[in-house]
Each structure stands twice: as C-alpha cells, then as structure tokens.
Amino acid sequence: PRAVEGFPEPTVHSQVAYPPDSDFTSRWTRADARQLKAMSDPAAGPRENSMPEEYTAPTVPISFPDMSGGRVWVWDSWPLTDSNADQYSYKGWEVIFSLVADRNLGFDDRHTYAKLGYFFRKAGIPADQRPENGGWTYGGLVFPEGVSGEVFEDQSFSHQTEWSGSTRIFKGGNVKVFYTAVAFYRNAQGQDVKPADARIMMSPGKLKANAKGVSFTGFETHHELLKPDGKWYQNGAQNPFYNFRDPFTFKDPANPGKTYMVFEGNTATVRGTPACTAEDLGYRPGDPHAEDLETVRNSNARLQMANVGLAVATNDDLSSWKFLPPILSANCVTDQTERPQIYMKDGKYYLFTISHRSTFAEGIDGPEGVYAFVGNGIRSDYQPVNRGSGLAVGNPTNLNYATGFPFDPDFNQHPGTFQAYSHYVMPGGLVQSFIDTVGTKDNFRRGGTLGPTIRLNIDGETITVDRSYGDGGLGGYADIPANRHANPGTFI
C-alpha cells in the first residue's frame, strides 16, 4: 500500500510462516493502525460514516427483533464446531452457545453476571423462511449451578461468571466446552478488593436430541487449562485490568496431530512500563510521519498492550495445555484483541479478532469491528488486511466525532457506531455479531440480541463487505447456519 498524504506508510510484513513453537511474534504496529485514520474522510459530517463503504457493515435498523423474546440478554455467541471450524447440526438441530444474563439487569451490568446459555432450532431452513428473529428456542443454562466457580482457590468472590469460548463436537454427541471462568472480588461499592481472576477452562458434556429439541448432560468436571503466566501473558499482579480469555481451538493441516488454541491476552509487562519498541511503532526508515519512540512509549499509549495468545494441547482429551509465545502483539496500539479465531482459506491463514474504538491507544483511532491479519501459517509475519490497516469490517462510524457510549451515544455519531460487536467469522465468510446499541443520542435502543448476519469476501490482503448478500448486505438476524450435519453413526 502507498502512503496517504499526511500519514505514514504501513509496516512491511512478509506473511512468512514460522514454526508454531518458535518465538516470532508478529506486530500490528502503530504505522499499520494509523492507516485507519488515513482512510477516514475528514469531511464526513455529523451522523455520517467517515470510513470506506467497502469495509463498513450496512446499517442495522432500530426495529431489530429480539431472539430470546425478552427472556435473557444475549451477547457473544458461537456454534458447535469441529477442528476445522466447520459448523454442525446434530440430529437435525442447530445449536448455539451464548453469554446470557437476566433481563432485570442493565445491559452494561451483564459482564459480572454472564453465564453460558444455549439455543437450538431446526437445521436446513433458509434464513428467509425463518421467523425474523432467527427462530431459536432458548434452552437455558449449559452448566449445572455453581460448578464453574469451583476452580477458584479463593471462594470469597463477589461475582463469578462464565465468559467466552468455543464448543467442539466429537463422535456420539460428545462435546467439549472451552470457556473462561472469571471470579471478581468486589466490595459493596463495586470496587475491586483484589484483581479479577480469569482461567481458561474446558468441560466435557454430551448433547442429546429428540423430536422436541436438544439438551445436555455432563459438565460436572471442569478442567483448568491455563492461567496467565506473567511471562508471555500478563496477569493480575502485573495489571489489575489484564485481559485473558476467549479460547478458540483448531487443528492445523501443516502441523498434523496437534490441537492449538488462540485466546485474548496482554503483553506481560507491569502496567505503565514504557515497554514499546521501535518495532512496535513499525515506521519505515526516513518516514516523515514517523513518531518519536520516547514520546509514544511515555504517553498513555503504553497502557494498551494487547496480544493474541497461542497454546498447544499436551494430551488427546484436550484437558492439558501449554503456552506458546503470542502470535500477534498490538503494543501501544490497542488493549484488546478479543475472541481471536484462525480461519483458513485457499492456503492462507487469517487471524480474526474484535476490537473497540475505545480500547485503541492514544494517537490511534478506528471503528468498533473485526480486524484481520493474513499470513502463510498460524505463526507468521501477519499482514494486516485492507491498505495495511487491519480493519476487516467496522460499524459505520465517524472518526471526526467523539466515540460516545453505548448507553449515551455522542450527538454527532452515526446511529450504527455500536450496532455490532463480538463478531464471529463463519464458513463461507458469514459473520455474526450481537447488537449493543442502535440509534442516535436522541433515539436509541439497546440490543442484547444477535444482529443480522453479513458476508465478507475474503481474498488475501483484501476483505470487503458483500452488499449483494441478503437485503443490501444484511442477512437474517441471529443466522448461524450449520454447514455440516451430524447424525448418529455418520460422524467425525
């Protein structure tokens, strides 16, 4: 990509692959991430989208339907998948897992009350023949009460939650739910008396299906797989606001016999350490728009130190894992690279991860959305897609105006600024996400339900929104279709 006037050139990335257990970590640099602002139209007026249309999701209407019929708040969601990220129905039923919380809570209070719930619906019905809200039946909570909190040595937590992950399906309806167990230790004023404790977990269970729907048994055993080591992955002693969660497992055809996991982490420095390097800034020699390293690393940008972690299973039942070095860092770029996933297409490896406008570092700006990096292996010198920026698809956003909040949109912001988050990329380039807020400061509506599925054209360094999909680019609400069908006896 060529430099935009007034902006630096993005970093050169080779896409070259390294062995998964080697210590090469690719960088999403400040030079890369500044391409986001470079593609924003400085003349875009109030409530207009300032970002290129091809990387922007179509606007979600404020009249969106609710998938649980008002029963629960719904956000991060995922299907039943195999080691190749193919999505399965089971005995004629599609099944999804979602973080859920009681509707009596405010939507922004959901995080400390999250539990894993599930939904099911009949497989094989085209989206346009389903009810507008996707036609899911809410099945209830996945785990028996209390079991996901037993892992914590300190049982004095004030809140204990189940955060995101992924679910693998095996022969005979056996499933393994990978998730994040989090304990909060807060006082009556809601302040932390000690940092939250996050562990990556796995629990095995069994899926049952009959003519009426699906249910689960099992989930009595919860294996602790990983807790942050403070060496590659930041822990609570280093930073009370550390991020460690969202396991996604897969196999790599280039490294047969092994199962890997990507997850959200942070670079393991003590919070506030001016740790960014010239490589994290990533400017080409002599770039007139390069920043001064000392200035950047002593600015507030030093507080945003995201990474994407890698781990490998050390036994066949996936109950024991070890860390490998991170595959991507975003030091002094953003603090959150959430719900990472590896997506393979035409011999290329895509690392998708979600990030917020509000978690970008000082001097960096970009929309709420899903970001993507392409390379030749799971560990490679990843090339951020789309003009070197990393943006795969963002919410319609105006970077000329303040971000606002989902509970209090900025007056000048586009009504779609918070329309989607926690995107999950599915086979065929379909992308599902949940609705946070749709609308403007004077007229907005909170979501807590899955939004319309969209489709991306994924082609190497270029990823664009397919506006020929669905209705002007918007497909069915909560549409998470299986692309494989498992029946007893015929299964993986």
Q: Is 197 in the site for ligand FRU (CB under 6 A)?
A: no
C-alpha pair distances (Å), 72 with each of 62, 95, 117, 300: 19, 17, 9, 37
Q: How far is the CB of 264 from ligand FRU (least distance, A)?
A: 6
Q: How far is the CB of 101 from ligand FRU (least distance, A)?
A: 9
Q: How far is the CB of 248 from ligand FRU (least distance, A)?
A: 11
Indicate if 76 belongs to the active site: yes
d(CA 417, CA 394): 9
Q: Is 357 in the site for ligand FRU (CB under 6 A)?
A: no
Q: How far is the CB of 472 from ligand FRU (least distance, A)?
A: 26
Site for ligand FRU in 256-315 (CB under 6 A): 264
Q: Is 479 in the site for ligand FRU (CB under 6 A)?
A: no
Residue with tokens 């560990």: 379
Task: Identify the residue among 71, 91, 103, 111 touching ligand FRU (CB under 6 A).
Answer: 111
Q: Is 335 in the site for ligand FRU (CB under 6 A)?
A: no
Q: Is 331 in the site for ligand FRU (CB under 6 A)?
A: no
Q: Is 99 in the site for ligand FRU (CB under 6 A)?
A: yes
Give the angle 160-163-165 at the CA atoms, nearest 5°: 145
Binding-site size, ligand FRU (CB under 6 A): 15
Q: At a CB cut-off of 8 Å and minimum separation 6, what does 426 contact?
A: 79, 85, 87, 432, 453, 480, 481, 483
CB of 175 closer than 8 Å to CB of 169: yes
How far the first Cα of the chain sits from its last, in Å, is 43
Nearer to ligand FRU, 339 or 379 (CB): 339
| 3-class secondary-structure state, position 31 | helix
Which of these is catalytic: 32, 76, 162, 381? 76
Q: How far is the CB of 378 from ligand FRU (least distance, A)?
A: 20
Nearer to ligand FRU, 281 or 438 (CB): 438
Indicate if 229 belongs to the active site: no
Which of these is catalytic: 338, 368, 381, 479? 338
What are the start-end ranges of the E strands in 131-211? Answer: 137-141, 159-169, 174-186, 192-210
Q: How far is the CB of 478 from ligand FRU (least distance, A)?
A: 16
Task: Identify the residue among 93, 421, 444, 477 touching ligand FRU (CB under 6 A).
Answer: 421
CB of 122 closer than 8 Å to CB of 89: no
Task: Identify the residue among 245, 348, 357, 423 touching ligand FRU (CB under 6 A).
Answer: 245
Q: Is 76 in the site for ligand FRU (CB under 6 A)?
A: yes
> Nearest Cα to 29, choosing from 330, 425, 403?
330
CB of 481 closer than 8 Å to CB of 430: yes
Q: How far is the CB of 48 from ligand FRU (least distance, A)?
A: 26
The b/e string for 440-458 (b: 16+ C-beta within 10 A; e otherwise) is: beeebebbbbbbbbbbbeb
CA 470, 474, 480, 484 torsion: positive or negative? positive
Output the six-digit token pair for 48: 């207009």
Nearer to ligand FRU, 163 or 382 (CB): 163
Nearer to ligand FRU, 401 or 418 (CB): 418
Q: Is 114 in the site for ligand FRU (CB under 6 A)?
A: yes
Q: Is 180 in the site for ligand FRU (CB under 6 A)?
A: yes
Residue with tokens 């599902």: 432
Q: Using CB under 6 A, list all residues that contact ligand FRU.
A: 75-76, 99, 111, 114, 163-164, 180, 245-246, 264, 338-339, 421-422
List active site positions: 76, 338
